[in-house]
């Protein structure tokens, strides 16, 4: 169920901080890629939450094969957790921009994951996955604040597009370190 649209959490049809051309085609243009590359090098860690080991393996394979096509010297690293509890422990240790979670997570639900993500200082974007990714789930997930829904089995191009755009939006929103934000706030008297 690949959707050819750029739709982000909160109902917006564009991603703040990137050019209108980038928003129109659903990926950053050359000027945006240069700015991202200048501000980022290294590994981006994602978190996958779910019981199905094959899903984790599939995501790892896709991310390794397609890579981070936004930045030349950037790679994805996928950490896998089987439960909500283990995912929360991992999220408190490592700053993660994107969490991919099964819609039928047991015990717990993707909605509980979303609520817990909101308590973090730089909350990651949540992408919900489902074998039954229908319009109802898609509408519910977006209305509650998830970034998007991915259908299983995963389509490599769709996974790459969604994960890249979620990371770009997160980086635009939270890219500066907390220390730098605190220094800016103190300097401006906030």
- pLDDT tens for 92-123 read 898 999 999 999 888 889 999 999 999 998 99
CATH match of 9-187 with 3.40.50.2300: yes
Asked whether the predicted pLDDT for residue 73 surpasses 80, the reply is no
Closest CA to 68 of 170, 145, 151, 143: 170
Average pLDDT estimate for 158-182:
80
Backbone angles phi, psi at 116, to 5 degrees: -65, -35
Instruction: Give residues with Cβ within 8 angstroms of 136, minimum separation 6.
Output: none
- pLDDT tens for 163-173 read 989 998 998 88
**Domain extent listing, the chain:** 9-187
The rounded distance, in Å, linking the Cα atoms of 123 and 121 is: 6
Tokens of 189: 């008297």
Per-residue pLDDT band at 43 (split at 50, 70, 90): confident
Task: Please tell me the pTM assigned to this model.
Answer: 0.72
| Distances, alpha carbon 57 to alpha carbons 60, 137, 145, 175, 187, in Å | 5, 24, 26, 28, 46
């Amino acid at each position: 169920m690949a959707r050819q649209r750029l739709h982000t959490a909160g109902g917006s049809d564009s991603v703040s901080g990137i050019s209108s051309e980038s928003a129109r085609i659903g990926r950053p243009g050359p000027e945006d890629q240069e700015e991202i590359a200048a501000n980022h090098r290294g590994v981006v860690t994602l978190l996958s939450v779910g019981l199905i080991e094959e899903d984790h393996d599939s995501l790892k394979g896709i991310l390794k094969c397609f890579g981070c096509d936004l930045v030349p010297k950037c790679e994805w690293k996928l950490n896998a957790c089987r439960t909500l509890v283990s995912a929360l422990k991992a999220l408190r240790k490592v700053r993660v921009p994107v969490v991919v979670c099964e819609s039928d997570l047991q015990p717990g639900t993707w909605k509980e994951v979303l609520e817990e993500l909101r308590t973090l200082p730089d909350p990651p974007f949540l992408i919900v996955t489902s074998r039954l990714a229908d319009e109802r789930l898609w509408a519910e997930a977006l209305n509650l604040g998830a970034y998007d829904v991915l259908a299983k089995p995963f389509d490599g191009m769709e996974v790459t597009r969604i994960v890249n755009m979620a990371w770009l939006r997160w980086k635009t929103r939270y890219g500066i370190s907390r220390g730098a934000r605190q220094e800016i706030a103190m300097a401006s008297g906030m």
